[in-house]
């Protein structure tokens, strides 16, 4: 992730010299908590976003000095390791690193390479490993219900899962998948399946299908998917961007369903979570992370074409127009926190009940409140 930043975003939001200096000293007195609305100006105009945000923060501190009783930014410089699958394909993370967003929030972020899935990223949440992780909600929730000591802090964007078929296929809707084979790139077909498989299993279950009996899931490398479709070894393939988008365009396939259409288009998928012991020892770290990621996610949402030019450095097999089309098809304006995040996690828990990964007697709302604490005011 050391490639130079692309010019359009650099020119729009120049880095401050202080971003490259030694970490700033800690302030003696903590500042009041920042409201979520103070962040929205950060990405709305790259040239004036930082100044506008500063003004809004100051106004909020004057009007609401009493609003936060527990967690607030304190100005301390912190080093943090964040695990995430395929970090070079993550536009929010890339923008946060390239434009110095982390540095502006006094964060020195390390992103280890090697995680090929959300599950592998969550495996790195342990002492001596990562303090935080970014993974799909459908990867997080089964692990949290299984006892993983972590809490969810912020949503970053909606999903990018797609189910594709040959353009001449008779399969036009989910129900047509009955008694077919589906290719899926799943590095871990075990106790916890991939978030892509879980998502489409939920969609099938809502259509009255049994995703474990009515279809056959065939694990395969993404590079084999086009040939498997052409040879009729599978009748559909499932994956997420950017790999599945490349397949969609290069093999001229048809999209039957995705996590970006209908009600799922406004549902978050990728979620930032923090280890429980880290959060208990240093709750202000969570505030810094939420503010930084919210800033970067808002910037991406408001400047998709510029974000595409940054991402192009990491996707040499895709041309810039293709990356732009991909980003515009995704849900980058979806990054809930607080109450909105809890509501969406409760929905996901209810859906996990449909496919047998959560007990019917579980209180989804209560669990969502346990997993998603209020870290900053909305």
Task: Output 199-202 pairs: Cβ under 8 A, ≥24 positions apart.
Answer: 199/138, 199/159, 199/161, 199/259, 199/264, 200/161, 200/163, 200/238, 200/257, 201/355, 202/351, 202/352, 202/354, 202/355
Same domain (yes/no): 150, 276: yes
Of 223, 258, 293, the position where a domain reaches its end is 258
Same domain (yes/no): 146, 271: yes
Same domain (yes/no): 32, 138: yes
Same domain (yes/no): 309, 245: no
Same domain (yes/no): 185, 273: no
Of 230, 258, 286, the position where a domain reaches its end is 258
Residue 102 belongs to a domain: yes
Residue 213 belongs to a domain: yes
Same domain (yes/no): 297, 148: yes
Same domain (yes/no): 40, 152: yes
Q: What is the pLDDT of residue 377?
A: 66
Residue 377 belongs to a domain: no
CATH of the domain at 232: 3.40.190.10
The pTM score is 0.81
pLDDT along the chain (378 residues), means of 10: 40 35 37 36 36 33 33 79 94 93 96 90 95 97 96 95 97 97 74 83 97 95 95 97 96 96 92 97 94 96 95 93 96 94 98 96 97 82
Helix axes 338-354, 137-145, angle to 10 degrees: 80
Residue 1 belongs to a domain: no
Residue 378 belongs to a domain: no
Same domain (yes/no): 66, 145: yes
Is the bond leading into 242 cis (omega within 30 degrees of zero)? Answer: yes
Q: What is the pLDDT of residue 188?
A: 55
User: What residues make up the domain containing 249?
Assistant: 161-258
Residue 376 belongs to a domain: no
Same domain (yes/no): 189, 118: no
| Interior/surface letters 59-96, b for 16+ CB within 10 angstroms, e for the rest | ebbeeeeeebeebbbbbbebebbbbbbbbebbbbbbbb
Instruction: Count up the domains in the chain and report the number.
Output: 2
Same domain (yes/no): 95, 202: no
Say how far apart CA 216 and CA 191 lie, in whole Å. 17
Of 234, 258, 282, the position where a domain reaches its end is 258
Say how far apart CA 246 and CA 369 lie, in whole Å. 38
Spell out the SS3 assignment of the chain.
CCCCCCHHHHHHCCCCHHHHCCCCCCCCCCCCCCEHHHHCHHHHCCCCHHHHHHHHHHHHHHHCCCCCCCCCCCCCCEEEEEECCCHHHCHHHHHHHHCCHHHHCCEEEECCCCCCCHHHHHHCCCCCCCCEEEEEHHHHHHHHHCCCCEEEEEEEEECCEEEEECCCCCCCCHHHHCCEEEEECCCCCCCCCCHHHHHHHHHHHHCCCCCCCCEEEEECCHHHHHHHHHCCCCCEEEEECCHHHHHHHHCCCEEEEECCCHHHHHCEEEEEEEEHHHHHHCHHHHHHHHHHHHHHHHHHHHCHHHHHHHHHHHCCCCCHHHHHHHHHHCCCCCCCCHHHHHHHHHHHHHHHHHCCCCCCCCCHHHHHHHHCCCCCEC
Residue 132 belongs to a domain: yes
Same domain (yes/no): 321, 284: yes
Same domain (yes/no): 86, 208: no
């Amino acid at each position: 992730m050391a490639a130079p930043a692309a010019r359009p975003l650099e020119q729009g939001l120049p880095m401050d010299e202080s971003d490259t200096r030694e970490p700033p000293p800690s302030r003696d007195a903590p500042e009041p908590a920042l409201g979520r609305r103070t962040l929205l100006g950060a990405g709305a105009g790259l040239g004036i976003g930082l100044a506008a945000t500063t003004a809004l923060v100051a106004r909020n501190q004057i009007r609401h000095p009493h609003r936060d009783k527990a967690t607030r930014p304190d100005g301390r410089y912190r080093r943090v390791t964040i695990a995430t699958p395929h970090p070079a394909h993550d536009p929010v993370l890339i923008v946060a690193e390239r434009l110095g967003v982390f540095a502006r929030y006094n964060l020195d972020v390390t992103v280890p390479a090697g995680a090929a899935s959300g599950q592998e990223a969550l495996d790195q949440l342990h002492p001596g490993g990562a303090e935080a992780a970014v993974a799909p909600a459908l990867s997080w929730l089964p692990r949290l219900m299984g006892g993983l000591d972590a809490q969810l802090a912020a949503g970053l964007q909606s999903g990018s899962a797609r189910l594709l078929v040959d353009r001449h296929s008779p399969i036009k809707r989910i129900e047509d998948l009955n008694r077919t084979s589906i290719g899926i790139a799943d590095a871990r077909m075990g106790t916890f399946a991939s978030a892509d498989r879980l998502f489409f299993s939920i969609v099938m279950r809502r259509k009255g299908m049994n995703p474990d009996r009515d279809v056959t899931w065939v694990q395969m490398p993404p590079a084999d998917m086009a040939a498997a479709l052409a040879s009729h070894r599978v009748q559909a393939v499932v994956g997420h961007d950017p790999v599945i988008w490349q397949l969609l365009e290069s093999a001229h396939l048809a999209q039957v369903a995705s996590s970006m259409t209908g009600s799922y288009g406004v549902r978050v998928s990728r979620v930032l979570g923090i280890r429980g012991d880290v959060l208990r020892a240093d709750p202000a770290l969570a505030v810094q992370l939420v503010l930084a990621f919210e800033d970067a996610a808002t910037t991406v949402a408001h400047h998709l074409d510029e974000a595409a030019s940054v991402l192009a450095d990491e996707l040499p097999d895709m041309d810039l127009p293709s990356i732009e089309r991909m980003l515009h098809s995704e849900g980058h304006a979806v990054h809930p926190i607080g109450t909105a995040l809890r509501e969406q996690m409760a929905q996901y828990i209810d859906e996990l009940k449909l496919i047998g990964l959560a007990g019917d007697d579980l209180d989804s709302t209560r669990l969502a409140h346990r997993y998603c604490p209020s870290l900053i005011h909305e």
